[in-house]
Homo-oligomer: A and B are copies of this chain.
Amino acid sequence: MRTRPLKVALLGCGVVGSEVARIMTTHADDLAARIGAPVELAGVAVRRPSLVREGIPAELVTTDATALVKRGDIDVVVEVIGGIEPARTLITTAFEYGASVVSANKALLAQDGAALHAAAEEHDADLYYEAAVAGAIPLIRPLRESLAGDKVNRVLGIVNGTTNFILDKMDSTGAGYQEALDEATALGYAEADPTADVEGFDAAAKAAILAGIAFHTRVRLDDVYREGMSEVTAADFASAKEMGCTIKLLAICERAADGASVTARVHPAMIPLSHPLASVRGAYNAVFVESDAAGQLMFYGPGAGGAPTASAVLGDLVAVCRNRLNGATGPGESAYAALPVSGMGDVVTRYHISLDVADKPGVLAQVATVFAEHGVSIDTVRQQGKDGEASLVVVTHRASDASLSGTVEALRSLDTVRGVASIMRVEGE
């Protein structure tokens, strides 16, 4: 074993960073044995040095992250600050100064992944970010390496624990959205401002990263269609149950049937109870991958939290350190396929539509005609009448989102349709 240690600069020492530092200290011998050389925490950059950090020697703590990254003797920079700046500049500086980088920064990777990968390659360094998607769950490495000889056709994932906690609560207790959100907040699963989670921004960043890796194609955050889950109601769950389904906020990355383009999207969707993702409870994450040869795979585990995320960071740290000792780098960005990324209109799936209609003869014929005119084939219809009003639930066969949108627009203009109560996509069949 090499005795000269590899030097690690830790940027950020919050929930994840402090766990990374703790494990680096308490498991130093194991890490050294697995890497083939000791690793040394050379410095920890923080915003507020006054906060005591147990087990981290005071002399390692600095507020000058830039100076730490520019020291010149750093082998690996671990970035767990999050957000776009100063993380982006610090990472590119790290590459310029000869370090490899391990990051947990989904927002930055989703926005600037291509530029960061290019910077890493230019300086012959590694950029690893297993922790950026679904916390502790090995996902980037399986997609990038284990499935490197396969063709991935679809990635279907629960990649946000907060929203899964809320939806699971609504499903199991019949609670409404607000009540479930309040409980998630009280238990610490949701932040004071839950927008990034419940409106799907967090999941969209992860979808962009996953789609890029799965399809060997650059997928930017702007390419990801996004719809939050704050409008999912208890009535939607009741409808889902009648169909033998539950509702999950899914990140869906798909190759088109003809293979010539890909899509990435985040929205709530019904999935059958028999689907492995349906039984993912609480704040757990799981990602379902469909590929040509492997078939259906699923990866399940905690999608967030200090220790789980630190586990993923440290797995990357070991890999990057081994590469460094080998004088090599791991697989970089693979975007050779360069498939066009289509918009939501081109997505083809099934739909569950609830309409409030007048309860009189001819309504169903009118509604069915609108579907037919837009080329959307109906699978089942269920009508329930009450006091001159009726609700009509239509489940379609597979149709493009554009056709469905056109259908819904036309339905709204019918006199006999009082309102469109909900539209939900049906996935995982």
Residues of A within 8 A of B (CB): 19, 23, 27, 30-31, 33-34, 130, 136-138, 141-142, 145-151, 216, 276, 279, 291-302, 305, 307-308, 310-319, 322-323, 326-329, 331, 334, 336-337
Contact = CB atoms under 8 A, between A and B. Distances in A.
B311 A291 contact: yes
Given A151-B30, A334-B34, A308 B326 contact: no
A294 B141 contact: no
Query: Which A-B residue pairs are the 10 nearest by beta carbons?
Result: A149-B314, A138-B146, A136-B294, A148-B318, A293-B311, A294-B311, A297-B301, A326-B328, A138-B142, A298-B300
A295 to B, nearest CB: 5
A194 to B, nearest CB: 23
A292 B308 CA distance: 9
A34 B216 contact: yes
A315 B148 contact: yes
A283 to B, nearest CB: 11
Nearest to A146: B138
B296 A149 contact: no
A297 B316 CA distance: 17
24 contacts: A33-B216, A34-B149, A130-B146, A136-B294, A136-B295, A137-B297, A138-B146, A141-B142, A142-B142, A145-B319, A147-B315, A148-B318, A149-B314, A150-B311, A150-B314, A150-B315, A276-B279, A292-B307, A293-B307, A294-B311, A297-B300, A299-B299, A326-B326, A326-B329
A165 to B, nearest CB: 15
Contact of A149 (B291, B315, B323): B315
